Amino acid sequence: MSKRMTLTERIADVSRRSGFSDATVEKVLKACQDSIMDSLVHGEKATLPGLCVLKPSVKLRLKQVGGQPTAEKYFTVSAKPMQSVLDKMYSLSGEEVQQAINEAAAEDAEIAKIMKENNLAVMNIAALE
């Protein structure tokens, strides 16, 4: 089953790769997060060097409030991977791609099993509004 890195594991991995302390890596990641959030809040694109570009947008949706249609603003962010990320992903062998697909499917099956065992259901939150 595929495993996603926790923040602590990510910090330790970057620390190991860079030679910087965990505390320094954590400070840099926090500063990067703050910088990116400032850009997004001001409607600016934010680049994560070598990874992706985040682009904020404000959209409108109509809602019924007291029988009257009203427009409500909501905020979205789209992410576009950098070409270097796509090149790396496309360079993976068929075996590596199949392994990633199999791991994702196994994880989904495990989640479905746990949900079934615990009588849990997936709900569409938009349908509740």
In terms of C-beta density within 10 A (0-12 exposed, 13-18 middle, 19 or more buried), how is residue 12 classed? middle
pLDDT at 47: 92
Its domain, for residue 38, covers 1-42
pTM over cut 0.85? no
* Residue 48 included in any domain: no
* Residue 80 included in any domain: no
* Residue 68 included in any domain: no
pLDDT at 129: 41
| Residue 34: strand pairing partners | none
* Residue 71 included in any domain: no
* Residue 83 included in any domain: no
pLDDT at 32: 92
* Residue 28 included in any domain: yes
* Sites in the chain below the pLDDT cut of 70: 1-2, 115, 119-129
| Residue 78: strand pairing partners | 55
pLDDT at 5: 83
pLDDT at 4: 79
pLDDT at 124: 45
Domain count, the chain: 2
Distance from C-alpha of 44 to C-alpha of 36, rounded to nearest angstrom: 9
